[in-house]
Amino acid sequence: MIIRARTRNTRTALTLLAAATLSLTACTASPAPAPHQRPAALKDRNPAAARQAPPTLAPGPQGLTPVFTSAPRAVQAPRGAAKAAPTVALTFDADMTADQGRRAAAGEHFDNPPLVDTLRRLKVPATFFMTGRWAEQYPAQTRDIGRDPLFEVANHSYSHYAFTPRCYGLPTVAPHRMRAEVERAFTALRESGVERPVPYFRFPGGCYDQRALRAIAPAGVTAVQWDVVGGDAFAKDPDAVARQVLQGVRPGSVVVLHCTRSAAPATERAVRTIVPALRERGFRFVRVSEQIGAARGARDARRDGARPAGARPDGAWPDDTRASGTRPDGARPDDNGASGTRPDGARPDDTGASGARPEDTRASGSRPDGPRAAGAAPN
């Protein structure tokens, strides 16, 4: 009996010791995930969700929004590799101002499905800069473009109002509303089905200044300009548009065109000429994100002390000042030229090219105040 009692006491003690040990272990161990939570590594098994974020440029002086115009004119190929093909990015502005809903309801077409179909048929990557108002008017097309891996969708403001005074006759956004214009457009794009719009912004009319760059800096975007004006706005002759693009394109170029049938009816036919002609010259079509990635690579190489192919004889780099928001000639982005000036050197507020709103057209393609300067880009 004594032996049995001792055995029973020993078992009880061991049971209590085991329970205490288990309790201490539970207090010090990491808590198990709740039933409705998954470990982070399992959350995003979708390759599209886990893809790398699009590249952006570092902020400019005093934290200003960086401005990108074109990629380096030449890209250094890895040693032993074949020479890299020159690249060009076609960009299409899907313009629609906040007050054009009535015109769309009356049958005016601000979209261009045949253009999108042609880009797909020719397998041409492209970047679409959409206004939020355009996305709301054409949500099915916005979603269709945004889900196509051939394309990327960027921000062209919500209302297509200007961010500077005297910009092609466009209404002007108040400085305190500029950031909201950018963020509201991103919201409209997402609500229309673009899950991941790229963090790029194009100023309406291409017009910007130091105040605008400062105002939208908290939005974290890279402003994207261009170095080749397609001249398709209000143009009726696709051959003239194609000729202007082909004459202007250089390695690393960004071309601005439009995705609106009513204001740019010749664009789709021009693209049918532009694409095979540039491919014949050895160009490779890319999205803007790849151009910005190349510019970042050149900047990083400069930081590391290397000099890439394409550097100018004076030692300047092909992408000089793109990340800082100033032009290669040293001018600031609010100097006329990189900030909305027309290719003929006129300012956006010069008469003849800016007195009427860009969306006001006539059957001849001229604006109510007279013929439009060749190559002017109201985008």
Residue 58 has pLDDT above 70, yes or no: yes
Closest among 243, 271, 217 to 57, alpha carbons compared: 217
Q: Rounded to whole angstroms, how far apart are CA atoms 75 and 268?
A: 30
Range 305-321 average pLDDT: 45
Domains of the chain plus CATH, in order, are: 61-74+83-303 (3.20.20.370)
At 53, the amino acid letter reads: A
* Residues contacting residue 105 through CB under 8 Å, at least 6 positions apart: none
Mean predicted lDDT score pLDDT of the chain = 76
Residue 33 has pLDDT above 70, yes or no: no
* DSSP 3-state percent helix, strand, coil across the chain (nearest 5): 35, 10, 55
Which one is predicted more confidently, 311 or 79?
79
Structure tokens at 197: 């719009």
Percentage of the chain exceeding pLDDT 90: 59
pTM summary value: 0.71
* Residues contacting residue 187 through CB under 8 Å, at least 6 positions apart: 132
pLDDT digits (tens, 9 = 90+) for 119-169: 999 999 999 999 999 999 999 999 999 999 999 999 999 999 999 999 999
Orientation angle between helical segments 238-248 and 267-280, nearest 10 degrees: 40
Residue 98: what pLDDT? 78
DSSP secondary-structure letter at 31?
A: P
Cα–chain center distance at 287: 9
Instruction: Return the minimum-mean-pLDDT range out of 32-41, 108-117, 279-288.
Output: 32-41
Phi, psi of 24 (to 5 degrees): -65, -40
Give the helix ranges, DSSP H, for the chain: 2-28, 40-43, 101-105, 113-121, 132-137, 139-146, 178-191, 210-215, 238-248, 267-280, 288-303
Residue 5 has pLDDT above 80, yes or no: no
Residue 305: what pLDDT? 64
Q: Rounded to whole angstroms, how far apart are CA atoms 266 and 318?
A: 32
